[in-house]
Structure 1
Amino acid sequence: MSNDTPVDESDRFINLIAEGLAYVNEVREVQPKRSKPFTSVRLSAMHGRKGELEYTKFDLVCRGREACELMKRHADAVNAKDGGGKRRNKVVARFRAGDLYADKWLFQGKPQACIKGRLILVTYLAINGEVVFHQPRDEQAEGDNPLPGEVAASNGGNDGAAEVADIVELRKDDPEFVARKEQLKGGGYRFQRRFRHGETDYQNVWVKFAA
């Protein structure tokens, strides 16, 4: 009997999920004529090496309750502009989005494109370098903390924007692993799965940022 028999997936829904770090460009309330109003968020998600970042545009409908409340609460900071129309604040978020699809259109004769979908979760938000929201660690899997560079990115990505006070390596085979882990947490250290400081790349370290 062959093991290559196709599996019937007709009764299952497979979602496409994206997670990343992005500048929050706009938070707006949309009021369709024939349906309920909803909150929409425009993001510029970052990818690539530091100094060579590229951006992918997302236009997302808020669906996660906490994510919606967070975006609404800080909408004024996101949308604030100076007299020249430039954004006053740099707002950075770590986000998770689903139900993704590509959308394209013409604007003044030029092709435009973005990824549309639903904003499911926001686990981190910083405004001009100040962290205003960070999902409690006990509500995340270990290591699901702000991505390396989040604090620096919220300050515009400048070197030294996130000054490091200390870096601690803690191995799971350490006899006092649990006790030391709790001590680091209590001391304000954050677990980083991948972290770059200066010219050195670290993996699975605990980092304390300067106040």
Structure 2
Amino acid sequence: MTTSNESSFFDLHITGLGYLNRIREVKPKKGAPFLACDIAALNGPANDASYVRFDTRVSGSEAQHLIRRCVQAVESEKKVLIGFRLGDLWTDIFTYAKGKRAGEQGVSLKARLLFVSWIKIDGKLVYKAEPKPTETSDQVPQAPASSPSQDAATPGISAPASDTPEEDAADTPVPALADSF
């Protein structure tokens, strides 16, 4: 009988699409600063979708680079829709400090933004992640994906697998404030 010192984990990931909001650098009193953003994820039937808000900490250099590139578009109030994967979901209970709900308790859904699969700004596809080599070798060929001009709120939206991003994020160093799209 052999024993292993490796830890095993059960991952819970949330995959979806949603609108990017409130990109900011958080500087906690203790610990290192980090990049954060809000995602208003679409949920429910396409003709009557609702939004679920996630307050996310952006994890990984590629995701940080992509979110930094969206800062200018979000600040100029363009509609930035992303395909995403979240992990480590948890809740934070807080008390409203001002406004009509001052003194009441609220709940915030928090998670880590692990992966950005595609980005559309005002309905135009500006980024699509390259598929991993292992994903394409074991899968059955897929039907052609939607065109970049497809409406952003269309259900089943997926990024085309054959397009290349305008700028390869893997070859570009991550600057403090990345170039926008």
TM-score by length of 1: 0.58
Residue 105 of structure 1 corresponds to 94
Q: Which runs of 5+ in 1 are unaligned?
A: 1-10, 81-87, 163-184, 189-211
Matches within 5 A, 1:44-123: 44-80=40-76, 88-107=77-96, 108-123=102-117
Match of 1:136 among 121, 130, 140: 130
- 1: distance between equivalents of 2:42 and 2:145? 14
1:89 counterpart SS class = coil
**Bigger radius of gyration:** 1
**Where does the alignment leave 5 or more consecutive residues of structure 2 unmatched?**
1-6, 97-101, 137-141, 164-181
1:66 Cα deviation after fit: 0.6
More strand by share: 1
Larger relative contact order (CA 8 Å, sep ≥ 6): 2
Divergent runs of 4+, >6 A: 145-148
* SS of alignment partner, residue 136 of structure 1: coil
CA distances 1:19-76 after superposition (whole Å, capped 9, x unpaired):
1001111210111232211100100111111121011110111112111100011112
Distance 1:57 1:119 in 2: 13
Post-superposition offset of 1:146: 7.5
Number of residue pairs matched by the alignment = 143
Residue in structure 1 matched with residue 151 of structure 2 by the alignment? 152
Alpha-carbon RMSD across the aligned residues, in angstroms, is 3.3
Partner residue in 2 for 1:19: 15
CA distance in 2 between counterparts of 1:40 and 1:65 reads 13
- Give the SS at the match of 1:51: helix
Deviation at 1:122, TM superposition (A): 0.1
- The code of the aligned residue for 1:152 comes to D
